Structure 1
Amino acid sequence: MKVFDDKHIKNVVFVGAHSSGKTTLAETMLFEAGLINRRGSVEQQNTVSDYHDIEQERGSSVFATPLHTEWRNYKINIIDTPGLDDFIGEILSSIRVADTLVTVVNGQHGVEIGTEIIWNYIDKYNKPSLFVVNQIDHENADFEESFNEIRNLVGNHAVKVQYPIKVDGAQCIIDVLKMKMYKFSSEGGKPEKFPIPEDQQELADHLHNELVEKAAENDEALMELFFEKGTLSENEMRQGIKAGMLHHELFPVFCVSALRDMGSGRLMGFIDNVAPAASELKPEQSVEGKVVQPTVEAPTTLYAFKTVQMPNVGKVTFFKVKSGEIRVGDKLVNARNGETETFNQLFIMDGKKRSGVNKLVVGDIGATLKLKFTETTDTLHAEGEKITIKPTAYPEPRTKRAIYAENKHEEEKLNEALRKVHSQDPTVSISFSNELKQQILGCQGELHLSTIEWMLEHVYGVKAVFETPKIAYRETIKRSSTANYRHKKQSGGAGQFAQVQLKIEPWYEGMPEPEGFNIRGKEEVELPWGGKLVFYNCIVGGVIDLRYLPSIRKGILEVMESGPLTGSYIRDVRVMVYDGKMHTVDSNDISFKIAGAHAFRDAFLNAKPQLLEPILSLTVKVPGEMVGSIMTDLQSRRAVIQGIESLDKYQVLKSAAPEAELFGYSADLRSLTQGKGNFHWEFSSYEAVPEHVQKKLTKTLEPVEH
Structure 2
Amino acid sequence: MANFDIKHIKNVVLVGHTGSGKTTLIESMLFEAGLINRRGSILEKNTVADYSDIEHEKGKSFFSKLVNTKWRGYKINLLDTPGYDDFAGEIIGAMRVADCGLMLLNASMGVEVGTDIIWEYANEYKLPILLAVNQLDNEKSDFDKTIQEAKDHFGQSVVIVQYPLNQGPEFDAIVDVLNMVLYKYPKNGGKPEKLPIPQTETEKANRLHQELIETIAGNDETLMELYFEKGELNEDEMKLGLHHSLIKHEIFPVFCVSAKKNMGSGRIMGFIDNVCPSAYEMPKQKTIDGKEIECSENGPTAIFIYKNLSEPHIGDLSFFKVLSGKIKVGDELTNENTGQVERINQIYEVEGSKRTAVNELTAGDIGATLKLKDTHINNTLHEKGKHIEITPIIFPNSTYSIAVEGTKKGEEEKLSMALHQLVEEDPTIRIEVSPELNQTIIHCHGELHLAIIKWKLEKQFKLSVEFRSPKIPYRETIQKSAEITYRHKKQSGGSGQFAEVAMKIEPWYEGMEEPKGYNIRGKEEINLAWGGKLIYYNCIVGGAIDTRFHPSIMKGIMEKMTKGPLTGSYVRDVRVILYDGKMHPVDSNDLAFKTAGMMAFKENFVKADPQLLEPFYHIKIQAPEELTGAIMSNIQTHRANVESMDAEGQFTLITAFLPFAEMQEFGSDLRSLTQGRARFTAKFDHYESVSFDMQKKLVSEFKKEEELV
- Judge same fold: TM > 0.5, yes or no: yes
Deviation at 1:694, TM superposition (A): 1.2
Deviates more, 1:652-661 or 1:275-284: 652-661
For residues 78 and 399 of structure 2, what CA distance do their matches in structure 1 show?
A: 29
Give the match for residue 442 of structure 2.
441
Asked if structure 2 preserves the Cα contact closer than 8 Å seen for 1:68 and 1:78, the reply is: yes
Change (3 A) 1:146 1:40: same
For residues 700 and 398 of structure 1, what CA distance do their matches in structure 2 show?
A: 27
Q: How does 1:691-706 map to 2 (within 5 A)?
A: 691-699=692-700
For residues 654 and 272 of structure 2, what CA distance do their matches in structure 1 show?
A: 40
Asked if structure 2 preserves the Cα contact closer than 8 Å seen for 1:214 and 1:241, the reply is: no
Give the match for residue 247 of structure 1.
248
Give the match for residue 689 of structure 1.
690
Amino acid in structure 2 at the alignment position of 1:307: N
The Cα offsets for residues 607-632 of structure 1, whole Å up to 9 and x where unpaired, read as 22110000112232333444454344
For residues 323 and 332 of structure 1, what CA distance do their matches in structure 2 show?
A: 13
Asked if structure 2 preserves the Cα contact closer than 8 Å seen for 1:484 and 1:499, the reply is: yes
The Cα offsets for residues 332-383 of structure 1, whole Å up to 9 and x where unpaired, read as 2222223333333222111111222232211111122243232222222122
For residues 8 and 578 of structure 2, what CA distance do their matches in structure 1 show?
A: 78
Deviates more, 1:653-662 or 1:513-522: 513-522
Deviation at 1:144, TM superposition (A): 2.0
For residues 354 and 547 of structure 1, what CA distance do their matches in structure 2 show?
A: 68
Deviates more, 1:59-68 or 1:146-155: 146-155
Deviation at 1:270, TM superposition (A): 0.4
Asked if structure 2 preserves the Cα contact closer than 8 Å seen for 1:219 and 1:240, the reply is: yes
Change (3 A) 1:618 1:701: closer
Deviation at 1:520, TM superposition (A): 4.5
Give the match for residue 706 of structure 2.
none
For residues 278 and 517 of structure 1, what CA distance do their matches in structure 2 show?
A: 71
Give the match for residue 566 of structure 1.
567
Give the match for residue 707 of structure 2.
none
- What secondary structure sits across from 1:103 in the alignment? strand
- What secondary structure sits across from 2:147 in the alignment? helix
Deviation at 1:567, TM superposition (A): 1.2
For residues 170 and 289 of structure 1, what CA distance do their matches in structure 2 show?
A: 50
Give the match for residue 333 of structure 2.
332
- What secondary structure sits across from 2:156 in the alignment? helix
For residues 126 and 680 of structure 2, what CA distance do their matches in structure 1 show?
A: 23
Query: What TM-score comes out, normalization by structure 1 length?
Result: 0.95
For residues 652 and 586 of structure 2, what CA distance do their matches in structure 1 show?
A: 72
Give the match for residue 673 of structure 2.
672
Q: Aligned pair 1:429/2:420, yes or no?
A: no
Amino acid in structure 1 at the alignment position of 2:277: P
For residues 82 and 3 of structure 2, what CA distance do their matches in structure 1 show?
A: 29
- What secondary structure sits across from 1:414 in the alignment? helix
For residues 447 and 609 of structure 1, what CA distance do their matches in structure 2 show?
A: 40
For residues 395 and 556 of structure 1, what CA distance do their matches in structure 2 show?
A: 39
- What secondary structure sits across from 1:501 in the alignment? strand
Q: How does 1:471-482 map to 2 (within 5 A)?
A: 471-482=472-483
Change (3 A) 1:625 1:283: closer
Amino acid in structure 2 at the alignment position of 1:103: M
Give structure 2 stretches of 5+ with no counterpart. Answer: 704-709
Deviates more, 1:658-667 or 1:471-480: 658-667
Asked if structure 1 preserves the Cα contact closer than 8 Å seen for 2:397 and 2:683, the reply is: no
Change (3 A) 1:170 1:520: closer
Q: Aligned pair 1:211/2:202, yes or no?
A: no
Asked if structure 1 preserves the Cα contact closer than 8 Å seen for 2:285 and 2:292, the reply is: yes
Give the match for residue 460 of structure 2.
459
Give the match for residue 24 of structure 1.
24
Give the match for residue 80 of structure 1.
80
Q: How does 1:92-491 map to 2 (within 5 A)?
A: 92-166=92-166, 170-287=171-288, 289-491=290-492
Asked if structure 1 preserves the Cα contact closer than 8 Å seen for 2:407 and 2:464, the reply is: yes
Amino acid in structure 2 at the alignment position of 1:372: K
Deviation at 1:409, TM superposition (A): 0.7
Change (3 A) 1:51 1:653: same
Give the match for residue 540 of structure 2.
539
- What secondary structure sits across from 1:409 in the alignment? coil
For residues 243 and 37 of structure 1, what CA distance do their matches in structure 2 show?
A: 35
For residues 341 and 233 of structure 2, what CA distance do their matches in structure 1 show?
A: 52
Amino acid in structure 2 at the alignment position of 1:140: K
For residues 167 and 135 of structure 1, what CA distance do their matches in structure 2 show?
A: 9
The Cα offsets for residues 393-420 of structure 1, whole Å up to 9 and x where unpaired, read as 1112211122222222111111111221
Deviates more, 1:248-257 or 1:650-659: 650-659
Deviation at 1:317, TM superposition (A): 1.6
Deviation at 1:689, TM superposition (A): 0.8
Change (3 A) 1:338 1:520: closer
Amino acid in structure 2 at the alignment position of 1:130: L
Asked if structure 2 preserves the Cα contact closer than 8 Å seen for 1:215 and 1:239, the reply is: no
- What secondary structure sits across from 1:132 in the alignment? strand
Asked if structure 1 preserves the Cα contact closer than 8 Å seen for 2:153 and 2:650, the reply is: no
For residues 291 and 620 of structure 1, what CA distance do their matches in structure 2 show?
A: 35
For residues 251 and 158 of structure 1, what CA distance do their matches in structure 2 show?
A: 5
Deviation at 1:687, TM superposition (A): 0.5
Deviation at 1:423, TM superposition (A): 1.1
Amino acid in structure 2 at the alignment position of 1:563: G
For residues 167 and 387 of structure 2, what CA distance do their matches in structure 1 show?
A: 60
Give the match for residue 41 of structure 1.
41
The Cα offsets for residues 11-32 of structure 1, whole Å up to 9 and x where unpaired, read as 1000111111111111111111
Asked if structure 2 preserves the Cα contact closer than 8 Å seen for 1:288 and 1:387, the reply is: no
Deviation at 1:475, TM superposition (A): 0.2
Asked if structure 2 preserves the Cα contact closer than 8 Å seen for 1:605 and 1:701, the reply is: no
The Cα offsets for residues 462-517 of structure 1, whole Å up to 9 and x where unpaired, read as 22222211111100112222222101123444432211122222222233444554
Q: Aligned pair 1:53/2:49, yes or no?
A: no
Amino acid in structure 2 at the alignment position of 1:221: T
For residues 348 and 542 of structure 1, what CA distance do their matches in structure 2 show?
A: 77
Give the match for residue 594 of structure 2.
593
Deviates more, 1:79-88 or 1:644-653: 644-653
Query: What TM-score comes out, normalization by structure 2 length?
Result: 0.94
Deviation at 1:81, TM superposition (A): 0.3
For residues 387 and 106 of structure 1, what CA distance do their matches in structure 2 show?
A: 41
- What secondary structure sits across from 1:534 in the alignment? strand
Amino acid in structure 1 at the alignment position of 2:33: A
Amino acid in structure 2 at the alignment position of 1:123: N
The Cα offsets for residues 655-693 of structure 1, whole Å up to 9 and x where unpaired, read as 222101222543443222222121111112100111111
For residues 656 and 20 of structure 1, what CA distance do their matches in structure 2 show?
A: 35
Deviation at 1:302, TM superposition (A): 1.4
Structure 1 residue ranges, 4+ long, deviating more than 6 angstroms after superposition? none
Amino acid in structure 1 at the alignment position of 2:560: V
Q: Aligned pair 1:90/2:119, yes or no?
A: no
For residues 332 and 561 of structure 2, what CA distance do their matches in structure 1 show?
A: 53
For residues 289 and 675 of structure 1, what CA distance do their matches in structure 2 show?
A: 38
- What secondary structure sits across from 2:700 in the alignment? coil
User: What's the % identity of the aligned pairs?
Assistant: 52
For residues 66 and 303 of structure 1, what CA distance do their matches in structure 2 show?
A: 15
Give the match for residue 638 of structure 2.
637
Deviation at 1:385, TM superposition (A): 2.4
Deviation at 1:73, TM superposition (A): 1.4
For residues 199 and 388 of structure 2, what CA distance do their matches in structure 1 show?
A: 58
- What secondary structure sits across from 2:598 in the alignment? helix
For residues 376 and 65 of structure 1, what CA distance do their matches in structure 2 show?
A: 15
Q: Aligned pair 1:70/2:62, yes or no?
A: no
For residues 303 and 525 of structure 1, what CA distance do their matches in structure 2 show?
A: 42
Deviates more, 1:350-359 or 1:583-592: 583-592
Amino acid in structure 1 at the alignment position of 2:199: E
Deviates more, 1:332-341 or 1:647-656: 647-656
